[in-house]
Chain A
Amino acid sequence: MCHQTVGLIAGELERRGIATTSITLLAEVTRKVRTPRALFVDAPLGSPLGRPDDPELQTAILRAAFGLLTHPGPPPVLVPFAGPA
């Protein structure tokens, strides 16, 4: 249910002019919720930043998530993380 909750909060933020980018581990759910911008990370539930104690991978995922901010749309934007997770 975490993924629906993320999408609904993102919607409230976007309505107030705050650009959001989200991580998703369940693309099927995020597609249904229509979360404005989401990066799909191919990792187990509970591990949105990929792997514990792997700052390099975590930073790469964050950079990719922030990269969606300049995606031209239209929303919803759902893009897979290109690196290994």
Chain B
Amino acid sequence: MASFSDLSLKNRIFMATYRYRSLDPVPFAPPRRPLVEARVALVTTGAVHRPDQEPFDEGWKGGDPSFREIPADTDVATLGIAHKSDAFDQGPFRTDRNLGFPLDRLREMAARGEVGSLNGRHLSFMGSITAPGRLTADSAPRAADLLAGDGVDVALLTPV
């Protein structure tokens, strides 16, 4: 089980004193259509990137707020993982990228007709953003505009 007690002392102290941003009010969009008809996009904060893309910048103070577009036909096993967070064991995620970026599972669900279709692109952020000003003012709105323009109905978000 993941809880504060699993984390290093340094991370626990940080999380206990950090002032989390909070959605208030909480925006809540009802699904526009049933899942079996919906266009689905995957959004991860697992810092995955294609081999031909610039990895995320670990040196960015407060966290790199940029994102990468992962085309729907990407071979999941080839994805790089730029996360260098010491808050978790990266071994399992590196063994199976679907553990944090379950694109193969979503393809299977689409093939079985459980979800309508997958969007042509999926998005990857590096979640370790402690100063989210640029995320909320710029990159997250741009990412959301992209997916809205694609006609995405449903987004699945995965942290690592």
Task: Tell me, yes or no, whether A binds B.
Answer: yes
> Cβ of A17: which chain B residues have Cβ within 8 Å of it?
29, 32, 148
* CA A5 to CA B157, docked complex, whole Å: 10
Question: Restricting to A37-72, which residues have a CB under 8 Å from any CB of B?
Answer: 37, 42-53, 55, 58-59, 62-63, 65-66, 69-70
* CA A70 to CA B87, docked complex, whole Å: 33
When the two chains form their complex, are residues A15 and B156 in contact, meaning their CB atoms are under 8 A apart?
Answer: no
Evaluate whether A20 and B157 lie within 8 angstroms (CB atoms) in the complex, with A44-B2, A53-B96 already known. Answer: yes
By the criterion of a CB under 8 Å from any partner CB, how many residues of chain B are at the interface?
70
* CA A46 to CA B99, docked complex, whole Å: 8
When the two chains form their complex, are residues A58 and B102 in contact, meaning their CB atoms are under 8 A apart?
Answer: yes
* CA A30 to CA B98, docked complex, whole Å: 22
- B22-43: CB near A (< 8 Å → 1, else 0) gives 1110111111100100000101
> Cβ of B99: which chain A residues have Cβ within 8 Å of it?
46-52, 58
**In the complex, how many angstroms separate the beta carbon of B56 from the nearest chain A beta carbon?**
12
Evaluate whether A24 and B154 lie within 8 angstroms (CB atoms) in the complex, with A52-B95, A55-B105 already known. Answer: no
Size bin of chain A's contact surface: 35 or more
When the two chains form their complex, are residues A35 and B109 in contact, meaning their CB atoms are under 8 A apart?
Answer: no
Evaluate whether A46 and B90 lie within 8 angstroms (CB atoms) in the complex, with A2-B127, A32-B22, A58-B99 already known. Answer: yes
When the two chains form their complex, are residues A42 and B96 in contact, meaning their CB atoms are under 8 A apart?
Answer: no
The 6 closest A-B pairs by CB, nearest first: A2-B127, A45-B88, A52-B96, A2-B159, A14-B27, A46-B88
Measured CB to CB, the residues of B under 8 A from A are: 1-4, 6-7, 15, 20-24, 26-32, 35, 41, 43, 45-46, 63, 85, 87-93, 95-96, 98-100, 102, 104-106, 108-109, 114-115, 125, 127-130, 132, 135-136, 140-141, 143-145, 147-148, 152-160
